[in-house]
Amino acid sequence: MGLIANIESQSSGSAPGTFADVPDLNTGSIAIASTASIILLTAVVPLVFESADRTAEFRFAVDGTREGPFVTCFGDQVDHGTDLASLAWAITGLSGSHTFSLQWQLLTGSSFAIDTGRVRNLQVLEI
């Protein structure tokens, strides 16, 4: 029990028009010991938007399927700004092997990109 995955990256990427994994923020297959375990997912993604009126949504996925609520980031009324998407979600009832990822999609505007000057990460903890 404890930290079972910690993924960090600074590679580039821009939010697509439909939900897809954030580049490099997905795990391979991870074995979960028991359905009694609580799985805590956390993620931090530094963002940059090149002009005003940009909106992107983030969500966790387990085995490619949405898990938990959406988090929406807005780049409103600001040019060349930065933001930080930070998410956490707890899951119960899992056992066996599973994959975990952070997904995103662009809702409005033409560009919402990862800030490659700062590290983003995805952590999976089993409690």
DSSP conformation letters of 11-60 = ---B--SS-EEEEEEE---EEE--TT-EEEEEEEEEEEESSSSEEEEEEE
Q: What is the pLDDT of residue 73?
A: 73
Q: What is the pLDDT of residue 99?
A: 96
Number of structural domains in the chain = 1
What range defines the domain where residue 24 resides?
2-126
Share of the chain above pLDDT 90, in %: 45
Q: Among 4-8, 19-23, 46-50, 100-104, name the one with the lowest average pLDDT.
A: 46-50
80-91 per-position pLDDT tens digit:
566 778 899 999
CATH code of the domain in which 115 resides: 2.60.120.760
Amino acid at 13: G
